[in-house]
Amino acid sequence: MNSKMKTMAFGIALTGVLISSIALAHTGATGVVKERMDGMVALRDGVRTVTPMMRGQTDYDADAVASFAQILQEHSGEAMTELFPEGSGGGVSKAQDAVWTDWEEFEALAMRLELLGEALELASVNGLGSTADGDASTTDMMGMGSTMTTDIEMGGMMGTAAPEVMDLDTLAALPVSDLFTQIGQSCSACHTKYRAEGN
Ligand SMILES: [Cu+2]
């Protein structure tokens, strides 16, 4: 075969390796570790389902957004944290020790996701809004000046100071696209610190 075909074949083989190692890691998981992985996978699948809509590639569907919001609520907050009992790290788990040494912040991030899920369910009727993140109109509407938007965009929600705290009503008045952005940031804020790389 020519070199281009070799490269392609290699790419396909590599993809196969990656997929099987993920499957293996998950297969080795049992008990509470398996349960929390299943919850996380449900979150990921939910995100994947609504992503094309959030990008404006498919028609907006308030019911689909509401069901995604329910999935978020089911697998966040206490439902998430109770699946991380002390001593359940190690082995096939990717959870970092920081989960337990920095429990309060970990818990706050899980609670934050639940709050965003509740807000999203209420906001589903608001419509998608602009697909651009953190536009000026949002800032004005919240009447909070630019500080908060900047904080969120700069990844401020990773901080322990929790500058992102806003009540449910305020969040629920946001366009769905803004909430979706914040939800994505909530996943990555937690993963950056609490989930080990690789898979
Ligand atoms: Cu897994």
CA–centroid distance, residue 30 to ligand 1 (Å): 10
pLDDT at 165: 54
CA–centroid distance, residue 191 to ligand 1 (Å): 14
pLDDT at 197: 86
Q: What is the DSSP string of 120-159?
A: HHHHGGG----SSTT-HHHHHHHTS-SHHHHHHHTTGGGS
CA–centroid distance, residue 40 to ligand 1 (Å): 8
pLDDT at 69: 98
Reference 160, options 124, 189, 199, 122; nearest CA is: 189
CA–centroid distance, residue 123 to ligand 1 (Å): 31
pLDDT at 110: 98
Give yes or no for a contact between 164 and 156, defined as CB atoms under 8 angstroms apart: yes
Give yes or no for a contact between 112 and 186, defined as CB atoms under 8 angstroms apart: yes
pLDDT at 154: 41
How confident is the model over 45-75, as pLDDT tens digits? 999 999 999 999 999 999 999 999 999 999 9
Reference 152, options 186, 116, 194; nearest CA is: 186
Q: Does pTM surpass 0.85?
A: no
Spans of the chain below 70 pLDDT: 1-25, 131-165, 198-199
CA–centroid distance, residue 27 to ligand 1 (Å): 7
User: Which tokens is 129 given?
Assistant: 């809004």
31-194: CATH topology is Four Helix Bundle (Hemerythrin (Met), subunit A) (1.20.120)
How confident is the model over 105-128, as pLDDT tens digits? 999 999 999 999 999 999 999 999
